[in-house]
Structure 1
Amino acid sequence: MELLKNRLIGLYKYKDLWEQLVIRDLKLKYRRSFLGYVWSVLNPLMIMIVMTIVFSTMFQRDIENFPVYLLTGRAMFDFMTISTNKSMNSIIGNAALIKKTYVPKYIFTLSTVTSALVDFIFSLGALVLVMIVTRAKFTIYFFLFPLVAIQLYIFCLGLGLFLAQANVFFRDIQYIYSVVTTAWLYLTPIFYPVDMLSPKIQFLVKAFNPLYYYIGQFRDLVYYGRMPGYRVLAGGWIIAFVMLFIGLKCFAKNQNKFILYI
């Protein structure tokens, strides 16, 4: 708790820098892009169309309103992968600034995860559009999605901090993580229901896949129009803060060595 408290105090002191870094990341992403921020809506929309066509013959017969089911899972997974992949290079990519002046090094990772969160919020426009077109039912629970987004944000921040410090010392971590996220994609119930898996695989997914909790909550709120169960809700918060603690601990332990490797 003391470590987290110190980081929050430091963050308040450098909040203007944090804001500028988030704005910089968003501008760099859409620089020289004709449609700009519209891609935040179009990109998930086009992926949803392609995946719906590909998987419809296999899964749509068992899943009502497959496009919404798919997009609720894909949006959360994309937020995780984009934020953590960008976080992995957040220290190395800002090496010039780190060498010139003192700033809290974690702020670079924090800004990348925050910019990914902004992108995720923009991408929900695609989800709303698909729900309107497919005549999905909107409920009051839809507006509780920030509760899930905050959990996933905390989890991604913790994982991002861990990857950022690891990548400073082991540059091939990015290639290993690429393989991990590919396997992670297919072991996450994004385009299939978890019930179709064998009991043994179901247990592994529910016990060891953090995204099961976040996608499950998000689908409950948006797709099913109900409150998530206590187990999934509590599990999501616990996993998020455990990952944040691990990330902060590893980052704090190694950050003074960064200057020797970047």
Structure 2
Amino acid sequence: MKEKLKRLFDYRELLFNLIHKEVKVKYKNSFLGFVWSLITPLMMLVVFYVAFGIIFKLRAMGMQFYAFFLMSGILPWNFMATSLLLSVGSVVNSSDLVKKVYFPREVLPLSHLGSSSFHFILQELMLIVFLLAFRVPLTPWIFMVPVVMLLEVTFIAGLSMFLSALNVFYRDVQHFTEIIIMAWFWMTPVIYPIALIRDNFPAWAQRIYMLNPMAHIILLWQRITYNSPHNGTEAALLSVPGLLGTIALSITLLVLGYVTFTRLEGRFAEFI
């Protein structure tokens, strides 16, 4: 495994070039360019704000700045979902490259994660600018951005490599991933506060709900960008055992994903 990690490090320039290519190609011949990475989450914000903030009146639960609450969850969720959906088919979609050129195949899913990370950072910076513009006070939790970013990237990287490797042999994996992500969204406190689960479900159901690692990651992002003094001390509830479990799971997934990918990559050319 040490040799394979060294091999990946030796090909870091290729990884960076692929990330640059993904970012550049996405907005090639586009008039608005990178602005689209900001428009998409803003449109989602408008839709969910109207649906849940006005029609279903989630604002009536005492949530101030509900729009910022939405953004604090939508951005990291989109980061995860986009990265996975692009990564899972990355090896299959690069069949010519895989068959003809030698390089560490793991750079393919990781390049999509890298390009998605670039857009996510832009979006988070935009959110912070909006918070400052609307004079929403930030807390010291803002300095945890790099740590939480690293946690989410670790989680996504492991899952991306694992799923992209399996997708080479079982193409149903990509379709299955799309369906799971749709269901996963509603099982994660992205557009509704975690208090909704706490106040309306029995303890055993809450424990099952909080087995979702993305719930803890989203709650961390909400604590960073939404849990200001204006929103109260319970704007984003956190469970220390659950958080530690998410960290352990993310590291385990990273190792499992990398080991699975590198063990199977020798057979990729046969199946694509």
TM-score, with normalisation over the residues of structure 1? 0.92
The one-letter code of the counterpart of 1:60 is R
SS at match of 2:137: coil
**CA RMSD of superposed structures (Å):** 1.9
By how many angstroms is 1:134 displaced? Answer: 4.0
Look up the match of 1:223: 226
Structure-1 separation of matches of 2:98 and 2:175: 25
Look up the match of 1:204: 208
Are 1:115 and 2:119 matched, yes or no? Answer: no
By how many angstroms is 1:133 displaced? Answer: 4.8
Name the stretch that deviates more: 182-191 or 91-100: 91-100
Structure-1 separation of matches of 2:245 and 2:185: 20
Equivalences for residues 1-262 of structure 1 within 5 A: 3=1, 5-57=2-54, 58=56, 59-62=58-61, 63-197=63-197, 198-199=201-202, 200-207=204-211, 209-225=212-228, 230-262=240-272
Structure-2 separation of matches of 1:80 and 1:255: 24
Deviations 1:75-126 (A, max 9, x none): 1110111101111111112211111121011111111111111111011133
Structure-2 separation of matches of 1:139 and 1:35: 33
- How many pairs were matched up? 258
By how many angstroms is 1:245 displaced? Answer: 1.8
Structure-1 separation of matches of 2:123 and 2:37: 5
Structure-1 separation of matches of 2:142 and 2:37: 20
By how many angstroms is 1:206 displaced? Answer: 0.7
By how many angstroms is 1:194 displaced? Answer: 2.0
Q: Is the 8 A contact 1:44 1:126 kept in 2?
A: no
Name the stretch that deviates more: 73-82 or 237-246: 237-246
Q: Is the 8 A contact 2:128 2:225 kept in 1?
A: no
The one-letter code of the counterpart of 2:214 is L
Q: Is the 8 A contact 1:195 1:202 kept in 2?
A: no
Structure-2 separation of matches of 1:253 and 1:27: 31
Structure-1 separation of matches of 2:267 and 2:187: 35
Structure-1 separation of matches of 2:118 and 2:246: 21
Q: Matched residues, percent identical?
A: 29
Deviations 1:31-74 (A, max 9, x none): 12111111122221221122111111321111221111111111
Structure-1 separation of matches of 2:209 and 2:239: 17
The one-letter code of the counterpart of 2:97 is L
Name the stretch that deviates more: 18-27 or 94-103: 94-103
Q: Is the 8 A contact 2:162 2:257 kept in 1?
A: yes
Structure 2: gaps spanning 5 or more residues? none
Structure 1: gaps spanning 5 or more residues? none
Name the stretch that deviates more: 222-231 or 149-158: 222-231
Q: Is the 8 A contact 1:109 1:160 kept in 2?
A: yes
